[in-house]
Amino acid sequence: MTDGINSRIVIVKILKKIKESRINIDQCFEKELKKINLSIKDKKYIYNVVITTIKNINSIDQILKNFTKSVNKKDVSYFFIISAISQIFILNQKEYAVINSTCEAYKRLNKKKLNFINGLLRNITRNKSSINIDKLNKSLHPIWFKNILKELPTSKRKVIYKSITKRPLINLVFKNNKKLNIVKQKFLETSKNSLALSEFIDLKKISGYNEGLWWVQDFASTIPVKLIPNLKNQNILDMCAAPGGKTFQLLNSGARVTSCDISIDRVKLLKENARRLQYNLNIINMDALKILENKFFDTVLIDAPCSSIGTIRKNPEILYRNSGPNFEFYLDLQYKLLEKAKKLLKINGTLIFAVCSFNKKEGVKQIEKFLLKNKNFQINPIIKSESKGFKKLVTKEGFFQSYPDDLIEIGGIDGFFIARLIKKNDNAL
């Protein structure tokens, strides 16, 4: 490691920024790590400490609370303290080395609370044997999150709490089965064209990366496209397409796809991904709510912007941030996207609505409201024969609903809701 002190300062900056903004971990890393020249080893170390601290913030805050009531969570000292606790208690690093370099790093920014940090960390460390991290309360999460979980059975809640501190496997989707066989023997097979692997592997080193034989996509996120019947040559609108997982599945199955996304940065990423995968895109970078209603599609796919709470295993910052997701904004936008999609769909066309969330308001409730107002739409229920590998996640109404770490037999998947609707002719009613 070139400079442990510099790395610690970067860790603190990232932890503070994520806590106080809406930026996600990956974006924050990209921005912060660009500013400073660090080795791959340093970068991995920084990532490991940040992600471990965020995933275990619940336990870390409880430890801290037992030793002091006078920590200001807005002050930079808080972030030095929580990252040190994370290294000592969860990553099992040498206590005195962690304390010394934490104090050294703090000194470079500030000196005011040096004695406090030093004394507090030494006191906590002296009492380490009396703290059993596994016995700490795992349910001390923000109220908004608890309210969503309240609707679930206790057993489900426990799995979700546990899933937050785990590292999820990464799912790779292959263009076809033959391509998958190149690397198959090393990883867990999640479907006939996807594999799960540990995230510690450098993805660029996996066979087929440069040739564009596969892309990263959670298993649950692959299901919406699997529910579209007869994909070949269909005209499909992917309304919220970036970074592209579903567009690539569609193109891979021979559909004619129009991909839309409002975000300039995410469209850039979509284009980069498509270049590596050697797909030609038909892309519109605009607000899907403003698409002209002069062309009608066989299928419209809404992979809607949402709270993303189904992805808490990968995005634990959702629970770590000062403020929770802006539910009002998402609920409004999701419903507007549904209302727009209906106008862009042919009669007998398929409307797929998906969110990576297990919040009923973002899923089933949106569809109930839409069906109530749009009598010419019906549920086209998911049936057993098309739900191989995920039958148990199909609800009695024929929707798909998963929760974080469902299908643990394939390494666990994200929480996701999917509805498939069909548009009937108004006159036929």
Ligand X SMILES: C[S@@+](CC[C@H](N)C(=O)[O-])C[C@H]1O[C@@H](n2cnc3c(N)ncnc32)[C@H](O)[C@@H]1O
Q: Which is nearer to ligand X, 195 or 260 (CB)?
A: 260
Q: What is the CA radius of gyration of the chain?
A: 23
Three-class SS of residue 88? Answer: helix
CB 176 within 8 A of CB 193: yes
Residue 244 or 349 with smaller CB distance to ligand X: 244
Name residues whose C-beta falls within 8 Å of residue 354's C-beta, 6 or more positions apart in sequence.
Answer: 221, 224, 301, 302, 303, 304, 416, 417, 418, 419
The least CB distance from residue 401 to ligand X, in Å, is 17
Residue nearest to ligand X (CB): 240
- Taking CB under 6 A as the criterion, the residue among 42, 218, 298, 303 binding ligand X is 303
Q: Are 340 and 288 in contact (CB under 8 A)?
A: yes
Q: Which stretch binds ligand X (CB under 6 A): 178-186, 254-262, 321-329, 393-401?
A: 254-262
Q: Of 168 and 243, which CB lies nearer to ligand X in the complex structure?
A: 243
Distances (CA, A) of 191 to 127, 230, 255, 270, 372: 48, 19, 21, 24, 36
Angle (nearest 5°) at CA 235 between 230 and 241? 100
| Nearest distance in Å: CB 333, ligand X | 6
Query: In the complex, what is the shortest distance from the CB of residue 420 to ligand X, in angstroms, rounded to a whole number?
Result: 16
172-231: which residues touch ligand X (CB under 6 A)? 221
Q: Hey, which bits of 119-234 come out as E strands?
A: 170-174, 188-191, 194-197, 214-216
180 or 262: CB nearest ligand X: 262
- Nearest Cα neighbor of 253 from 274, 275, 279, 290 is 279
Q: Is 362 in the site for ligand X (CB under 6 A)?
A: no
Number of residues that bind ligand X (CB under 6 A): 19
Q: Are 228 and 299 in contact (CB under 8 A)?
A: yes
Q: Is 305 in the site for ligand X (CB under 6 A)?
A: yes
Rule CB under 6 A: choose which of 160, 197, 250, 260 binds ligand X.
Answer: 260
Residue 263 as a binder of ligand X (CB under 6 A): the answer is yes
Return the structure tokens found at 409. Answer: 């037999």
CB of 259 to ligand X, least distance (A): 9
Q: Does 99 bind ligand X (CB under 6 A)?
A: no
Does the footprint of ligand X cover residue 341 (CB under 6 A)?
A: no
Q: 111-132: b or e for each residue (b if 16 or more CB lie within 10 Å)?
A: eebeeebeebbeebbeeeeebe
Candidate list 243, 310, 363, 411; residue touching ligand X; CB under 6 A = 243
Q: Taking CB under 6 A as the criterion, which residues in 265-284 touch ligand X? A: 266
Q: Which of 242, 250, 352, 410 binds ligand X (CB under 6 A)?
A: 242
Tokens 């039958």 belong to residue: 391
**Binding interface with ligand X (CB under 6 A):** 221, 239-246, 260-263, 266, 287-289, 303, 305
